[in-house]
């Protein structure tokens, strides 16, 4: 990333479904203002929103950082949630451990992480049980 990029940071509170999506919405609007192509903005918005929903659904709190450079956006979502016991299983479409209140909102279909992977050019997931998860993804802006 370049030193001249725009750096954004958002605190995300676990269980606060009323505000869920605000970070992704702000990232999306900034990319719009920067004149980034429509389909790229949509990919960033989808991946950021899924990452934010994961924190809200599973963690007590977390942080989303976005580093918007000239050529790409790098997003990091860090949380203090329970961690992911089996990443391979979590990456499989349809697998979900979402609680009922998340499913009632139309989520928890086991599509979150696969959607992030599909929408991004690079994704990395580090998780430690009972400590938390760090999800990183990058999307080229050109």
Partner 1 sequence: MKAQNISQLLKTRVIFENELESEIDFNTVCACDMMSDLLSIMSCNANIKEHFVLLTGLTNPQVIRTSEMVDIKLIIFVRGKTPSNETVELAKSCGISLMTTPYSLYRSCGVLYRENLEDICHQKDSA
- The binding track of 95-134 with respect to partner 1, each residue x by CB under 8 A or -, is ---------xxxxxxxxx-xx--xx---------------
Q: How far is the CB of 110 from partner 1 (least distance, A)?
A: 8
Q: What is the chain's Cα-based Rg?
A: 14
Give residue for tokens 């009922």: 100
Q: How far is the CB of 4 from partner 1 (least distance, A)?
A: 27
Piece of 1-9, 24-32, 73-81, 125-133 that binds partner 1 (CB under 8 A): 24-32
- Other CB atoms within 10 Å distance of the CB of residue 97: 14
Q: Which two tokens stand for residue 79?
A: 């949380």
Residues 75-94 that bind partner 1 (CB under 8 A): 93
Q: Does 17 bind partner 1 (CB under 8 A)?
A: yes
Q: How far is the CB of 111 from partner 1 (least distance, A)?
A: 4
For 40-86, list the strands marked E by DSSP: 61-68, 72-79
Residues 26-65 that bind partner 1 (CB under 8 A): 28, 38-40, 42-43, 45-47, 49-50
Nearer of residues 65 and 118 to partner 1, judged by Cβ:
118
Distance between CA atoms of 82 and 45, rounded to whole angstroms? 25
Give the sheet arrangement for strand 132-140, strand by strand: 6-13, 61-68, 72-79, 132-140, 122-128
Q: At what angle do helices 38-58 and 22-33 cross, to 10 degrees?
A: 160
Q: Which residues in this chain contact partner 1 in the complex, by CB under 8 A?
A: 17-18, 20-21, 24-25, 28, 38-40, 42-43, 45-47, 49-50, 93, 104-112, 114-115, 118-119
């Amino acid at each position: 990333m370049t030193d001249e990029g725009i750096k954004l940071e958002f605190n995300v509170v676990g269980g606060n479904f009323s505000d869920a999506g605000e970070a992704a919405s702000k990232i999306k609007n900034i990319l719009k203002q920067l004149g980034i192509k429509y389909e790229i903005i949509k990919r960033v918005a989808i991946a950021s929103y899924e990452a934010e929903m994961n924190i809200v659904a599973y963690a007590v709190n977390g942080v989303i950082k976005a580093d918007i450079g000239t050529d790409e956006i790098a997003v990091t979502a860090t949380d203090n949630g329970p961690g992911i016991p089996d990443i391979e299983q979590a990456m499989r479409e349809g697998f979900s451990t979402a609680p009922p209140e998340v499913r009632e909102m139309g989520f928890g279909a086991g599509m979150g992480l696969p959607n992030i992977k599909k929408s991004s050019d690079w994704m990395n997931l580090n998780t430690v049980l009972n400590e938390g998860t760090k999800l990183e993804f990058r999307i080229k802006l050109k």
